[in-house]
Amino acid sequence: MRAVLQKVVRASVTVENEVVSSIQKGLCVLVGVGTDDTEKDVNYMVNKILNIRVFEDEATGAMWKKSAKDLGLEILCVSQFTLQAKTIKGNKPDFHRAMKGEDAKILYDNFLDKLGKSHDPALIKDGKFGAMMLVDIVNDGPVTLELDSRKFTYNDDTQE
């Protein structure tokens, strides 16, 4: 799984002119499910997203001391298969690494469920899987991090 995590002041998802989800201070996480992703990848991402320290300790003002879980903050997740794109050859992105349709939805829903069970389900928000979405993100910092559950186990594709 791949994700782009952003510390936000607020974020929302709109589908067909209707806001389907919104959060205030917290994290907005764009999530791409790959063809070879498993429960192990889901568990890695859930743990990393909930525990990564991107927030300040309000008592001391020290940066990088608190996680969304520590502070009880909202997390807006947006399914985004384009994070699995290969862009090495040519100018057209190759999406063969993105898990397809129903299989991707099942793994993504499992990911959301585990986030809720490890945090507070009321604090986990979601876009609309498979829909064309407008994602409004007000990045705080800006703080943007790339997460990859297989960063050190993917094959080297530069030799193709």
Cα within 13 Å of Cα(52), Cβ side: 21
CATH dotted code for 2-149: 3.50.80.10
Share of the chain above pLDDT 70, in %: 94
Model confidence over 30-78: pLDDT tens digits? 999 999 999 999 999 999 999 999 999 999 999 999 999 999 999 999 9
pLDDT at residue number 153:
59
Q: What is the mean pLDDT of residues 124-141?
A: 97
Indicate the domain borders of the chain. 2-149
Over 70: is that where the pLDDT of 101 sits?
Answer: yes
pLDDT at residue number 70:
97
pLDDT at residue number 97:
94
Over 90: is that where the pLDDT of 127 sits?
Answer: yes
Over 70: is that where the pLDDT of 86 sits?
Answer: yes
The answer to whether the beta carbons of residues 126 and 1 sit under 8 Å apart is: no
Of the pLDDT bands very low, low, confident and very high (cuts 50, 70, 90), residue 159 is: very low
Q: What angle do CA 125, 49, 53 make, to 5 degrees?
A: 120
Contacts of 29 (CB under 8 A, 6+ apart): 3, 4, 5, 6, 49, 75, 76, 77, 78
Over 60: is that where the pLDDT of 157 sits?
Answer: no
Q: What is the mean pLDDT of residues 83-106?
A: 95
Share of the chain above pLDDT 90, in %: 93
